[in-house]
């Protein structure tokens, strides 16, 4: 197929927040379109009004933008094949349903919900597979007139061929054959005038000139009915490729939208906005999602977006389900954080800090960034790694100021000597601080770990923190001297030096 003819679509229903599985499907469609120089279309299938979620659409659009999956046609963009909301296309579905009725390929069904329920109960009791008994398919004109006179509101059903087979090819699943006798006379148009999924998707895919359908394999069972509709209209069905299921981290079940706990106690994230709020980078998410079901050579893990576009092909998509590994995502996210330029990372960290109401400023954040860049897995880790830099002095137990193999009196002496030595410094920078404090440890007869340990707690309130000298430099002379003096007071008043 010529590269300029490829047109793929992402067609979500706004019934819930944008899920990982939907994001992976959108990514594969976007990569396929970009690889072939084609178009990525966003179409909103919003005809299921009973399940419509008012926050779903803005969440989905923002999630796609965050991932960098910009659409060529669709909401907020427009295009030559609109409108791109199915609720704005209802007249089209009615027209095409009427066409099928006139051609004898569909019929109006007047069966009430009560009659259909009795029919299904009888089928279950007889051990028969459920399905419409086609009663209205053979109504006479007089019977139809009688139903109309009663004010019954019909649905429109497709007159599925009673014999023969329906066949189609799937790029990943091969040639598939289904006996028509196994297929139901599916509803195409509901009594309220809204189309079912089958009618709407077939009409829209044809009118929007969609060439390839890439979607989750849970939709594979619907293809025979769609193929019959394409055939009924005399249209060519787009190339089909049904993507493998994403499994949960255990690999034993489909990744659920219900909240679960990971083995380490963390809550499992499933929606894209949760990963964004959790401090993951969109670059890492795209790279990671691409590998949940696709592989280039089985070894390469890191790909730029341009490389993914260049290398992505459907043939390299796995037929088997793939487990979603949070450990792998964390590993990749940390690697992407380490690869960022310091100005770039500082800007992202500042956003996280300010969103958490931390009184951070860009200058201090820039100086802090190289201290934490190698130590954080997500952007949000800066909140716990370096919260002591901003705002009030940290609270902690005075006992933490006493290093191993030292007593409280020795720790107090070390703190006083440190404060005096630091107060005398002319230059306040990382190199000068290291030189002065190492010399002080020697003069006091302490191991550097002992002196640095008590100073780390005094300055940060933590036994584990970013590199000490860089931390003291970022905190500044006044803050460091004040916090050491406070630590001295804590040791003195806690009764630990008696």
Average pLDDT over the chain reads 94
Residue-wise burial string across 435-472, b where 16 or more C-beta atoms lie within 10 A, e elsewhere? ebbeebbeebebeeebbbbbbbbbbbbbeebbbbbbbb
Q: Any catalytic annotation for residue 257?
A: yes
When pLDDT is averaged across residues 182-200 and rounded to a whole number, the result is 94
List phi, psi (to 5°) of 489.
Answer: -65, -40
Q: How far apart are CA 171 and CA 214, in angstroms?
A: 10
Q: What is the pLDDT of residue 173?
A: 94
Q: What is the pLDDT of residue 1?
A: 37
Q: Cβ of 34: how many Cβ atoms within 10 Å?
A: 20
The pLDDT confidence band at residue 2, using thresholds 50, 70 and 90, is very low
Q: Which ranges of 190-262 does DSSP label H, i.e. alpha helix?
A: 197-207, 223-233
Q: What is the pLDDT of residue 3?
A: 41
The pTM of the full predicted model, rounded to 2 decimals, is 0.92
Q: What is the pLDDT of residue 268?
A: 83
Q: For tokens 């509901």, name the residue.
A: 190
Token couple for 261 = 């706990």
pLDDT per residue over 71-105, tens digit each?
A: 999 999 999 999 999 999 999 999 999 999 999 99
The pLDDT confidence band at residue 250, using thresholds 50, 70 and 90, is confident
Question: How far, rounded to the nearest angstrom, does the alpha carbon of residue 12 sit from its chain's CA centroid?
Answer: 14
Strands 187-189 and 155-158, by their bridges, are antiparallel
Q: Write the burial class of residue 287 (CB in 10 Å: 0-12 exposed, 13-18 middle, 19+ buried).
A: buried
Residue 150 near residue 296, CB atoms below 8 Å? no
When pLDDT is averaged across residues 354-380 and rounded to a whole number, the result is 95
pLDDT per residue over 10-29, tens digit each?
A: 999 999 999 999 999 999 99
Find the catalytic residue in 102, 225, 252, 257.
Answer: 257
Residue 197 near residue 205, CB atoms below 8 Å? no
CA angle 207, 86, 82 (to 5 degrees): 50
pLDDT per residue over 460-492, tens digit each?
A: 999 999 999 999 999 999 999 999 999 999 999
pLDDT above 90 (res 259): no
pLDDT per residue over 121-166, tens digit each?
A: 999 999 998 899 999 999 999 999 999 999 999 999 999 999 999 9
Q: What is the pLDDT of residue 52?
A: 84
Q: What is the pLDDT of residue 498?
A: 54
Q: Is the dihedral of CA 332, 330, 321, 66 positive or negative?
A: negative
Q: What is the pLDDT of residue 254?
A: 83
Which is more confidently placed, 253 or 367? 367
467 half-sphere exposure, CB direction, 13 A CA radius: 15
Q: How far apart are CA 185 and CA 187, in angstroms?
A: 7
């Amino acid at each position: 197929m010529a590269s300029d003819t490829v047109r793929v679509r992402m067609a979500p229903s706004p019934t819930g927040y944008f899920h990982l599985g939907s994001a992976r499907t959108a990514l594969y469609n976007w990569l396929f379109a970009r690889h072939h120089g084609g178009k990525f279309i966003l179409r909103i299938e919003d005809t299921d009004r009973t399940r419509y979620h008012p926050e779903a659409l803005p969440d989905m659009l923002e999630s796609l933008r965050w991932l960098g999956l910009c659409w060529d046609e669709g909401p907020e963009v427009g295009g030559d094949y609109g409108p791109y909301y199915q609720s704005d296309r209802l007249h089209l579905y009615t027209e095409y349903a009427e066409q099928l009725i006139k051609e004898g390929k569909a019929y109006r069904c007047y069966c009430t919900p009560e009659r259909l329920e009795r029919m299904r109960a009888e089928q279950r009791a007889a051990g028969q597979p459920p399905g419409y008994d086609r009663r209205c398919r053979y109504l006479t004109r007089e019977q139809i007139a009688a139903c109309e006179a009663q004010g019954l509101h019909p649905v429109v059903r497709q007159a599925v061929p009673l014999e023969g087979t329906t066949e189609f090819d799937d790029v990943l699943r091969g040639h598939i054959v289904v006996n028509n006798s196994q297929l139901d006379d599916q509803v195409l148009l509901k009594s309220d005038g809204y189309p079912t999924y089958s009618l709407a998707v077939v009409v829209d895919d044809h009118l929007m000139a969609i060439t390839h359908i890439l979607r989750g394999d849970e939709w594979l069972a619907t293809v025979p009915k769609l193929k019959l509709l394409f055939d009924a209209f005399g249209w060519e069905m787009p190339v089909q490729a049904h993507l493998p299921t994403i499994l949960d981290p255990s690999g034993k079940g489909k990744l659920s939208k219900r909240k679960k706990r990971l083995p380490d106690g963390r809550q499992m994230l499933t929606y894209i906005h949760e990963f964004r709020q959790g401090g993951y980078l969109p670059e890492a998410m795209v790279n990671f999602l691409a590998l949940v079901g696709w592989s280039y050579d089985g070894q390469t893990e890191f790909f730029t977006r341009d490389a993914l576009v260049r290398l992505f092909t459907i043939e390299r998509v796995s037929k088997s389900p793939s487990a979603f590994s949070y450990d792998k995502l964390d590993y990749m996210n940390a690697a992407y954080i380490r690869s960022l330029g310091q100005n770039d990372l500082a800007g992202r960290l500042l956003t996280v800090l300010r969103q958490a109401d931390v009184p951070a400023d860009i200058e201090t954040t820039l100086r802090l960034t190289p201290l934490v860049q190698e130590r954080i897995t997500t952007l949000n880790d800066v909140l716990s790694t370096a919260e002591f830099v901003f705002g009030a002095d940290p609270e902690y137990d005075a006992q933490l100021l006493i290093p191993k193999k030292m007593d409280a009196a020795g720790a107090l002496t070390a703190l006083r000597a440190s404060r005096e030595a630091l107060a005398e410094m002319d230059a306040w920078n990382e190199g000068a601080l290291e030189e002065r404090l190492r010399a002080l440890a020697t003069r006091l007869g302490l191991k550097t770990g002992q002196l640095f340990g008590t100073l780390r707690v005094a300055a940060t309130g933590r036994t584990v923190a970013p590199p000490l000298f860089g931390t003291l430099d970022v905190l500044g002379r006044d803050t460091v001297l004040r916090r050491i003096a406070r630590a001295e007071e804590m040791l003195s008043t806690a009764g630990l030096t008696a």
